[in-house]
């Protein structure tokens, strides 16, 4: 198989969960020294992003601002009751790409890869593909 699936259990209804460590393991095990790492989330109410890992308030601010854009208690047509989560996931997006050099993810000092949960807690899958070149 050309990709590896990481399984993550989220703990809250909404949260940004740092999955950088798990992605680094996939990169290491791939043996790729120079290339790209693609991270994809096969869910419609979760997303993936790269953002600051130092100040946890950044994560709170992101969630707070998204909540203002698409309130959990808002009125929506979608009968399942999680329309806000679909909207938030759509805004953040379902994939990121990180370069790999010297067998390592090339991330900025303050960057981490976050799974964004908007309709948890749940078990989520994250697909990671590491390609040379």
Which of residues 3 and 76 has its CB atom nearest to Zn ion in the complex? 76
How near is the Cβ of 49 to Zn ion at its closest, in Å?
20
User: Which H or E element spans position 20?
Assistant: helix 20-30
Smallest CA-to-CA distance from 101 within 11, 42, 36, 24 is with: 36
Q: Find out whether the peptide bond into 13 is cis, omega within 30 degrees of 0.
A: no
Which residue has its beta carbon closest to Zn ion? Answer: 80
Burial class (CB in 10 A: 0-12, 13-18, 19+), 34: exposed
Cα angle 62-113-33, degrees, rounded to a multiple of 5: 160
Q: Position of tokens 């047509």?
A: 77
Nearer Cβ to Zn ion, position 22 or 82? Answer: 82
Residue closer to Zn ion, measured from CB, 4 or 122:
122
Instruction: Give least dist CB 60 to Zn ion, A.
Output: 24
To Zn ion, the closest distance from the beta carbon of 88 in angstroms equals: 12
**Between 37 and 117, whose beta carbon lies closer to Zn ion?**
117
Residues of this chain that bind Zn ion (CB under 5 A)? 80, 82
Least separation, in Å, of the C-beta of 53 and Zn ion? 29
Least Å from the CB of residue 78 to Zn ion? 5
Pick between residue 49 and residue 82 the one whose CB is nearest to Zn ion. Answer: 82
Integer Cα distance of 48 and 78 in angstroms: 23
């Amino acid at each position: 198989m050309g990709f590896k699936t990481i399984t993550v259990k989220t703990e809250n209804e909404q949260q940004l969960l740092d999955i950088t460590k798990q992605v680094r393991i996939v990169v290491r095990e791939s043996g790729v020294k120079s290339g790209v790492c693609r991270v994809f989330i096969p869910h419609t109410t979760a997303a993936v992003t790269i953002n600051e890992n130092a100040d946890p308030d950044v994560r709170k601010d992101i969630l707070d601002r998204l909540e203002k854009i698409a309130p959990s208690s808002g009125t929506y047509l979608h009968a399942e009751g999680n329309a806000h989560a679909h909207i938030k996931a759509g805004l953040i997006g379902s994939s990121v790409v990180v370069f790999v050099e010297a067998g390592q993810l090339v991330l900025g000092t303050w960057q981490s890869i976050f799974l964004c949960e908007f309709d948890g807690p749940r078990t989520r899958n994250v697909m990671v593909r590491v390609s040379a070149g």
